[in-house]
Amino acid sequence: MPLRALALVFATFVASAACQAAEAFTYDDVVKRARELVDERYAAPPANPIPDILRNLKFGGYQEIQQKREFYLWNDSANAFQVKLNHPGMQFGTPVNVNIVDEQGVHEVKYDPTQFEFGKLEVDPANLQGLGVAGFRVLNAINSPDKPDDEIASFLGATYFRMIGRGQWYGASARGLAIDTALPSGEQFPRFTDFWILRPGVHDDAVTVYALLDAPAATGAFEFVIRPGEDTVADVQAQLFFRNQVGKLGIAPLTSMFLFGSNQPSPTPNFRPELHDSDGLAIRAGNGELIWRPLNNPRRLSVSSFAIEQPRGFGLMQRGRGFSRYEDIEDRYELRPSVWVEPVGDWGRGAVELVEIPTGDETNDNIVAFWVPEQQPEVGTPFKLQYRLYWTRNDIAFHDPNLGWVSQTRRSPGEVRGDDLVRRPDGTIAYRVDFRGTVLEDLDPATAVTAEVSSNGNAEIVENRVVRNPATRGYRLLLKIKPGDPAKPVELRAALKTGERTLSEVWSYQVPAQEAAANR
C-alpha cells in the first residue's frame, strides 16, 4: 500500500477511535445521573472554608485572581477554544466539578492554587489546598486571530452563565432554571454541581458543555452548544426531574440590571444619562403580536405577567446603542448584548413574567424575566425543553420589518405653554415615545397616523397626539396622563395605526405604585 494511502487509513482509524471514545460519555449519561439524583434526598452543598481575605473581596479585588495563561486547558492545541478556570472568592465559594471529555475518556480537572496569580492580594497559595474551582470561562479568537483568549462564555455561581459576541461587553446573564421566584414561600436557587466540557476538534466552530443541576425541588441535565460569532448563539436542551411540586417554574430565565434611563431619570445628578445592561423586555407572541416593555427600577418589588400562547421569543434587550445614551468610556453600556430566547418546539400556553426589584446601585442584577408554563410539571414526569439563546447587538434582526419599533421612552413632568411662550407644569406626567422602522420611513408624510392608547383605568389620558419626527423619519407619541390611586400601578398600552392598519409593536408601560404621585 502506498505510504500516503497508509497514512490516510491510519488518520481515519485514529479519528474514528477518538470519536468512539468521546461518545462514551454523552448527554444521555447526564440525563441518567439527573434521573438517579432525583430519588435521593437533597443535600445542600457543604460550606467551603475559603479564607476571609477571599470571602470578603469586592468585585475589583476578585478580578485580581486569574489563572495563569500557560495552564488554560487546550492552550497548546490547534483547536479554536480554550478554557480558563475561575478561583473561589466573594460569594462564589461553592466549588463545582469540572470534567473534560476527550478521546481518552472523562477527566476531572483538579484545582491547583499554584496555577493562579493573586495580583495585589496578600495570599499564600500553600494555604488554599483543596478549595476547588468556582466555575470556568470559554475562550476563543472571536475578535481577532491574534487574540485566541478572548472570553465568549462564563459559568459562575449557582446556574448563572453569560456570553458575548464579537465586540460585545458582558452585561445580562442567563440561568438554568428559576423556581418560585418572587413567591412568598421564598425562591430556590438551583445550582450546577457538575460540568463536562467536550474537547472540540481542530475544525469545530462550536463547543459543547453538559451540566448537572440540583435543587431542593428538582434535578436536571443540560446541554449547551455554544457557537461564537457576530452574535454568539447557544442551543440549549434540558431534561428536568422533580422531587416535589414547585409553586412556579421559570423556564429560560434571564437576569439584568436597570438603574435609571430615559423613562426613569437618575434622582441625583449623574454624568451618565442612562445606566443599565438592558432597557426593555421584548416579547413576540404566537399570534404575531410584538410587545415592548420599558424597564423600571421600582420602589417596591413589581411582578408583571404577559399571557402568551405558543411564544415565538422573548428577551431582555439593550436597544439604546448610541454612546451618547450613556457617556461612559469605562463601562461601555452601549456594547452590552441583548439576550433573546427563541423556543424550539411547542411551548403551549403560559406567560412571560417580568420581575423588577429595587436597587440603589449598578452592581445588583434587579431584573428577571422567564417563561412560566400554564401547566406546571408533575412530580415523577420528566419535563423536556429546548431553546436557542442569542447574545446580540443586532436588535433590528428581532423586529418585524412590517412594524415600527420603540427606540426610546422619555418621561418628564407635563407642561403647558402659555401665551408668553413659557412652559409651566400642569400636574401631569408626560411621555415622549419614539417609534422607528422602515415601514414608518416609507409612509407618505401626509398619512394620518394616530395612537390607539389604553390604560388599566388608574389614569386619565389627558393628551394623545402623534407627530412625525423629522430627525429619525419616524413618529413620536406625545402622551400625558393624570394617575389616579398612587398606591396602585398605572398600566398603559399604545400602538401606532393608520385607519385600521397597525403600524407598530405594542408599547406596554407601567408607572409603578407610589411613583405616579412622586413624579408629577
Half-sphere exposure of 443 (CA within 13 A, CB side): 29
DSSP-based helix, strand, coil % in the chain, nearest 5: 15, 45, 45
In this predicted structure, what is the pLDDT of residue 517? Answer: 53
pLDDT at residue 180, rounded to an integer: 96
Neighbouring-strand partners of residue 475: 435, 468
Q: What is the pLDDT of residue 377?
A: 93
| Structure-model confidence comparison of residues 47 and 312, the more confident one | 312
User: Residues 138-158: what's their mean pLDDT?
Assistant: 95
- 422 falls in which pLDDT band (50, 70, 90)? confident
Longest dimension (CA), the chain: 100
Predicted pLDDT at 5: 44
The per-residue pLDDT of the chain, averaged, comes to 92
Q: Could you tell me what percent of the chain has a pLDDT over 70?
A: 94
Residue 37, classed as helix, strand or coil, is helix
Q: State mean pLDDT over 354-382.
A: 95
**What pLDDT, on a 0 to 100 scale, did the predictor assign at position 126?**
87
Q: Which residue has the cell 452590552?
A: 336
Q: CA angle at residue 277 from 492 to 145, to 5 degrees?
A: 140
pLDDT-derived band at 515 (thresholds 50, 70, 90) equals low
pLDDT band at 416 (very low <50, low <70, confident <90, very high): confident
Which residues lie below 8 Å from residue 128, measured CB to CB, with a gap of 6+?
A: 51, 113
pLDDT in tens, 318-339: 999 999 999 999 999 999 999 9
d(CA 487, CA 209): 47
- Three cell numbers, residue 169: 461587553
pLDDT of residue 76: 86
Rg of the chain taking only CA atoms, in angstroms: 26
The pLDDT score that the predictor gives to residue 1 is: 45
Average pLDDT over residues 359-380: 95
Indicate whether 291 pLDDT > 80. yes
| Nearest CA among 520, 510, 514, 462 for reference residue 485 | 514
pLDDT above 90: residue 418? no
Q: Above 50 in pLDDT, residue 52? A: yes
Range of lowest pLDDT (19-28, 44-53, 64-73, 390-399): 19-28
- Is pLDDT at 265 greater than 80 in this prediction? yes
Q: How far apart are the first and last CA of the chain?
A: 88
Cα–Cα distance, 113 to 62 (Å, whole number) = 15
Q: Which of 431, 437, 432 is nearest to 473 (CA)?
A: 437
DSSP assignments along 423-490, one per residue: EEEEEEEEEEEEEE-HHHHTS-TTS--EEEEEE-SSEEEEEEEEEEETTTTEEEEEEEEEES-TTS-E
Taking residues 222-237, report their average pLDDT. 98
Asked if residues 283 and 322 have their Cβ atoms less than 8 Å apart, the reply is no
Is 464 exposed, middle or buried (CB count within 10 Å of its CB: 0-12, 13-18, 19+)? middle
More confident residue, 519 or 301: 301
Task: Tell me the mean pLDDT in the region 288-315.
Answer: 96
Domain with CATH 2.60.40.10 in the chain: 405-518
Q: Between 142 and 420, name the one with better pLDDT.
A: 142
The Cα-based distances of 340 to 161, 251, 265 in angstroms read 14, 13, 26
**pLDDT computed for residue 190 by the predictor:** 97
| Mean pLDDT (whole number) for 500-506 | 97
Give the count of alpha carbons within 13 A of 105, CB side only.
2
The DSSP 8-state label assigned to residue 30 in this structure reads: H
**Residue located via cell numbers 447587538:** 393
Topology (CATH level 3) of domain 18-398: Beta-galactosidase; Chain A, domain 5 (2.70.98)
What stretch(es) of the chain map to CATH 2.70.98.10? 18-398
Q: What CATH topology corresponds to 405-518?
A: Immunoglobulin-like (2.60.40)
Average pLDDT over residues 160-180: 97
Would you tell me how many other CB atoms lie within 10 Å of the CB of residue 497? Answer: 16
